[in-house]
Amino acid sequence: FSPGLSVKAGRTDGEYTADVDSFYASFWFRATRKRGDISRIAVCAANPEGTLRASNYIEMFATAGGVIVRTAETYPNYTYCAKVRNCGYQAQFHYVQIAPLLKLGTWHRVEMIFHAKAADYADRWKYVVNKLFAHEGGAYFQTARYDQGWPYQYINRLKFQPRHPNRNVAHKGFYFDDIYYKAFNSSDVNTTVEEYGTSFERDPLY
């Protein structure tokens, strides 16, 4: 888990207690090998306690043909899940590839934008890869929480989670750089409430 902000993003309607309704994150990544070794890593928004994947799911997957960047979305769609309120396990990990295969051994940028909505199953995520490829979807993990009646999870940090076997030395993983995230309100997108960034370079990220 990355360091948490002091504010939390999520729903602000009714009994919900988020400080802001929106969250933005960006990072650069590169596979450590120039040939795919089936390394996989997920980058998910995480809760203030630093214990859970809170809302979305996006992963990088280094295959022999290139890097796949894909998100998991609830199947068949969030409108259906809101109606039946029981998407069940058939909804699990319906992958949507965001961009064509990306070159191995090259740096790529991912941006993630979250907006909470005042309705169940309605939180939204937008992903942009290399400023060229975009996808808009929902809050994958939050769907399961609504289905199960579990508490709503707020956002203020990231979780980096290997999806290949942790102790398998054949998987060399990924490099990350210029990790940045901020909390803000959709009603005033130009005002940052709080932000965090880290980089190998001296130039500021924000």
Q: What is the pLDDT of residue 142?
A: 92
pLDDT of residue 92: 67
pLDDT for 34 equals 86
- Report the alpha-carbon distance of residue 67 to residue 54 in Å, rounded: 25
Question: Residue 89 has what pLDDT?
Answer: 56
Pull the structure tokens for residue 199.
């980089």
Yes or no: say if 173 and 32 are a contact pair by the CB < 8 Å rule. Answer: yes
pLDDT of residue 91: 58
Cα gap 2→62, rounded to integer Å:
23
- The predicted structure's pLDDT at residue 166: 72
Q: Is 44 helix (H, G, I), strand (E, B) or coil?
A: strand
Per-residue model confidence (pLDDT) at position 65: 94
* Average pLDDT along the chain, 206 residues, taken 10 residues at a time: 97 98 97 90 97 95 96 86 78 85 95 97 96 94 90 97 79 92 97 95 68
Look at residues 153, 154, 173 and name the one whose alpha carbon lies nearest to residue 162: 173
